[in-house]
Structure 1
Amino acid sequence: MLEQAKASSSETIRWLNADAEQLPLPDNSTDLIFSNLMIQWSTRPELVLAECQRILKPGGILAISTLLAGTLEELKQAWAYADPGRPHVNRFTHLTDWKRLTGQQLPGSTLDAATLALPYDSPMALNRELKHLGAVFKGEERRRTITAPGRFKAMCAAYPKQGNGEIIASYHAGWLYWEKARLEENSAFFING
């Protein structure tokens, strides 16, 4: 991804591959942080938010999108029918838990949420897209062997279909916005007289 970004951008842009929980950037060094659908994969999102808070300059802007609980619920239910007791869809944080975390760590932040329903030709088309994106199930309880074709067929049969044969995949998304307080907003003035 970085190679593609470098190839299609100005040479003045510096690209960095780093751990979001330990960014190799100085305090108060960044004007803008934009993160698109990354933080839901972190096992410790509070560390990612703390790093964002640390490296943002006063007045700097943080904009994060994430997936929330309820994402791919149709796929989850179809797999529950086809392979009972074996999860095949990642767990995502509930909106109320995100609001609590972001409210504590980033006072004054806003968190908007909406559900996006995207059409696919078939459950297998959805499955191929998720695999291509690298959004495969990563849970500890995942099956360690190849999923049998019969289970895929049962999942496809259980997935709810539209009148035209297409399927819908629901993505519950959240958008977090925060501006780091400017220095004058953090200061208190005392006048002796």
Structure 2
Amino acid sequence: MTQPIRWLQDEIADRMLQKLDIVKLDVRDILVIPDFPGNHHAALAKRFPRAHIHSVLEDNSSKLQLWIAKTRANWRSIFGGGKTSSLTHLRSTNKFDIPDNSVDLIFSNLLLQDLTDPKLFLRECWRVLQEGGLVVFSYLGPDTGKELRAIQSESGILQLKNLLSPWDMHDLGDALMAEQFADPVMDMEYLTLDYERPRLLLNDVEALKLANKNPHLDAEIGDLPKKLTLEIVYGHAWALGKHLAKSQDNVAYIDVNQIGRKTRTDSH
């Protein structure tokens, strides 16, 4: 995402937090990915006032702006040892720069559509979440920008870019189960953006990474749509039973030393 679409990130973050209203979770450490200097810091600090915020920054984010946003929201996230890394590091290594079992909540807003393999992301979420932790996410679904497809095929001028991960909510739900997450909940909504000028639409198309940048595109295409559809997919799932070995052939194998330990089986 880039600055022109910052308002959308804040809007979707608000909706994600509203969906958490029914969830009870004791949070001491939060991983926000991607993190940006928006209004979500204040909302997270209000919801989880004792939590430390660990950040994976957008590639174009200012560390100073993010520091100011966190300071205004919650001083604990600054002086409590919250770690900061970058999306560049994640893309190059497929790893978060934080230890195993170190966070209670992962808050990921509009990222998965830009990753080549969301399964690697989910594996990292499983690794860093503590037992009983929660991953909450949103991303752009495959129907995003569907109005633009006819223009590309007719004119050849507008060069659309496929979402790196055009997964619908069923694909992601299946992936969560495959990565051992419990009680996944998925839902989806369509948002329709209306535009008065073609250039405004194209600015958002480029910011959402749906097409290659072309400053003269609005002059070259005479019949641009006046609206843009966004498919927003939401989901969350729990990290439960992390001490159990991964199942093989539909059978869960456990170490003899684990017998007798109490496991968490309550649902949310």
Query: Partner of 2:97: helix, strand, or coil?
Result: coil
Residue 16 of structure 1 pairs with residue 97 of structure 2: no
Q: 1:39-88 deviations in whole A, cap 9, x for unaligned?
A: 1101121111100111001111110101111101112322322217x741
**Residues of 2 paired with 1:67 and 1:56: CA distance?**
24
Runs of 4+ aligned structure 1 residues displaced above 3 Å come to 146-149, 151-156, 182-190
Offset of 1:171 from its aligned partner? 0.6
In structure 2, the partner of 1:163 is none
**Residues of 1 paired with 2:170 and 2:243: CA distance?**
32
In structure 2, the partner of 1:4 is 65
In structure 2, the partner of 1:157 is 223
Residue 74 of structure 1 pairs with residue 121 of structure 2: no
Offset of 1:127 from its aligned partner? 1.2
Q: 1:177 aligns with which of 224, 227, 236?
A: 236
Tell me how large the CA RMSD over aligned residues is: 2.9
Offset of 1:32 from its aligned partner? 0.8
Structure 2 unaligned regions, length at least 5: 1-60, 246-257, 262-268
Distance 1:99 1:179, change over 3 A: closer
**Residues of 1 paired with 2:259 and 2:191: CA distance?**
44
Contact persistence 1:124–1:156 (CA under 8 A): no
In structure 2, the partner of 1:116 is 191
Contact persistence 1:123–1:156 (CA under 8 A): no
Distance 1:124 1:82, change over 3 A: farther
Query: Partner of 2:84: helix, strand, or coil?
Result: coil
Stretch moving more, 21-30 or 3-12: 3-12
In structure 1, the partner of 2:209 is 135
Q: Which has the higher contact order (CA 8 A, sep 6+)?
A: 1
Offset of 1:134 from its aligned partner? 6.1
**Residues of 2 paired with 1:183 and 1:42: CA distance?**
25
In structure 2, the partner of 1:162 is none
Query: Partner of 1:71: helix, strand, or coil?
Result: coil
How many aligned residue pairs are there? 173
Q: 1:150-190 deviations in whole A, cap 9, x for unaligned?
A: x644544152xxxxxxx221111111101211679996539
Percent identity over paired residues: 21
Query: Partner of 1:109: helix, strand, or coil?
Result: strand
In structure 1, the partner of 2:6 is none
Residue 100 of structure 1 pairs with residue 174 of structure 2: yes
Corresponding letter in the other structure for 1:117 = T
Query: Partner of 1:25: helix, strand, or coil?
Result: coil
**Residues of 1 paired with 2:222 and 2:204: CA distance?**
15
